[in-house]
């Protein structure tokens, strides 16, 4: 009778986390705007992933579309008409979703990683290191995003990696500040003192006690950074700093403007990409706000 399974501390921790996540999901499900956002998002992500099944990639290159009419409106050609090269707007829209989402997500991950590391280290260590890190954060916070991104993108050259890099390194400071503020209160908690008294190193404290406690905040912040990153991608691509070889929604807006879609009154060329951006940004914002409320119930009464 010595086989009474005693769960290890790790198992206990994970059980508790699973329960917390299940509870968060139950709360989230009851949040109508958040669920609407989630469903819209899921539809767009499925469309982006299934792009090869929906539309032929060859249709993105003008050399393959010489047979098609140019500036055809939706009733004359395909679901969404054609552009000045006879390329189907629908094909560009479907494939553009991939790049817009990819850039938005990748840039957000970069910004979240930098912001979280700076925020946790600055908040937890405090002292000289902390104040230097926060000073640098404040500096980056006042540098206006667009001019910095433009200068960087002009220097680095237009490519998809560079645009991710540029958005990533210009959007981390606000994450760092929010996380640092939270960590400052966490490090005064008793369990941190106790763990330290048991001989835990700074690294152990930061990764095992502080990080799990700010992870909810990081997730909510990430969800709210994606829309900003997607809007930034749109603006930078519109200004001609996007990858010239890959269609994104921002790139479509640039090409439609350059091709004179406004004077052609070719609304079918630039309304869809803008609507796509609007939907994705709105969906991410709704999900992010719902997450924030689920994870921080104090907000619930304040916002709704």
Partner 1 sequence: MSVRYVTSKVLGSLATLFFVICFNFFLFRIVSNDPVATLFRGRNLTDSQRDELTHQFGLDKSTWGQFVDYLQQTAQLNLGRSYQTNQPVWDEILDAAGPTIALVGVSAILSAVFGVMLGIAAAWRRRSKTDYTVTGFTMTTYSMPDFWLGMLLLLALAVGLGWFPTGGIEDPASTATGISKLADQAQHMFLPALTLTLAYLGEYAIVMRSSLLETMREDYLVLARAKGLRDVLVRNRHAVPNALLPVVALMAINFGFVLSGAIAVEAIFSWPGLGLASYEALKGPDLPMLQGMFLVFSAAVIVFNLIADLLYGYLDPRVRRA
Structure tokens at 143: 């540098």
Q: Match 């060859």 to its residue by tokens.
A: 58
Nearer to partner 1, 32 or 215 (CB): 32
**Which residues 276-295 are close enough to bind partner 1 by CB under 8 A?**
277-278, 281-282, 285
Residue 82 · residue 70 · CB < 8 Å: yes
Stretch that binds partner 1, among 73-81, 125-133, 217-225, 257-265 (CB under 8 A): 257-265
Smallest distance, partner 1 to C-beta of residue 58, A: 28
Q: Determine contact, residues 12/6, Cβ cutoff 8 Å.
A: no
Comparing C-alpha atoms, which of 195, 172, 171 is closest to residue 121?
172
CA distances to 92, 95, 162, 236 from 83, rounded to whole Å, are: 10, 15, 28, 21
Q: Which is nearer to partner 1, 42 or 275 (CB)?
A: 275
Local structure of 82: helix, strand or coil: strand
| Residue 234 contacts partner 1 per CB under 8 A | yes
Alpha carbons 154 and 247: distance in angstroms, whole number = 19
> Shortest approach of partner 1 to residue 208 CB, angstroms?
33
Nearer to partner 1 by Cβ, of 65 and 137: the residue is 137
Distance of CA 50 to the CA centre of its chain: 20
Restricted to residues 236-255, the positions that interact with partner 1 (CB under 8 A) are 238-241, 250, 253
Q: Is the dihedral of CA 243, 244, 246, 250 positive or negative?
A: positive
For residue 40, state whether it binds partner 1 (rule: CB under 8 A): no
The stretch among 69-77, 137-145, 182-190, 205-213 that binds partner 1 (CB under 8 A) is 137-145
Residues that bind partner 1 (CB under 8 A): 138-139, 142-148, 150-152, 154-155, 227, 231, 234-235, 238-241, 250, 253, 257, 262-263, 265, 267, 270-271, 274, 277-278, 281-282, 285, 302-304
């Amino acid at each position: 009778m010595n086989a009474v399974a005693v769960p290890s501390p790790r198992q206990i921790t994970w059980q508790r986390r699973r329960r917390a996540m299940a509870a968060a999901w139950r709360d989230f499900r009851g949040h109508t705007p958040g669920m609407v956002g989630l469903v819209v998002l899921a539809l767009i992500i499925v469309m982006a992933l299934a792009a090869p099944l929906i539309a032929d990639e060859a249709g993105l290159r003008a050399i393959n579309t010489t047979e098609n009419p140019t500036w055809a409106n939706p009733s004359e050609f395909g679901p969404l008409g054609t552009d000045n090269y006879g390329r189907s707007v629908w094909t560009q829209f479907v494939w553009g979703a991939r790049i817009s989402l990819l850039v938005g997500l990748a840039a957000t991950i970069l910004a979240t990683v930098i912001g979280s590391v700076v925020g946790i280290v600055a908040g937890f260590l405090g002292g000289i290191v902390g104040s230097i890190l926060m000073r640098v954060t404040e500096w980056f916070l006042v540098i206006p995003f667009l001019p910095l991104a433009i200068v960087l993108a002009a220097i680095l050259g237009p490519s998809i990696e560079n645009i991710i890099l540029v958005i990533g390194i210009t959007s981390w400071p606000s994450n760092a500040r929010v996380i640092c503020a939270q960590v400052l209160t966490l490090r005064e908690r008793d369990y941190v003192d106790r763990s330290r008294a048991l001989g835990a190193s700074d690294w152990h404290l930061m990764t095992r006690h502080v990080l799990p406690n700010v992870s909810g905040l990081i997730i909510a912040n990430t969800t709210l950074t994606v829309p900003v990153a997607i809007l930034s991608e749109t603006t930078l691509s519109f200004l001609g700093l996007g990858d010239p070889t890959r269609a994104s929604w921002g790139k479509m807006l640039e090409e439609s403007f350059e091709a004179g879609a406004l004077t052609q009154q070719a609304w079918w060329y630039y309304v869809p990409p803008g609507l796509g951006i609007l939907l994705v940004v709105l969906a991410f914002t709704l999900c992010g706000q719902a997450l924030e409320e689920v994870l921080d119930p104090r907000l619930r009464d304040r916002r709704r």
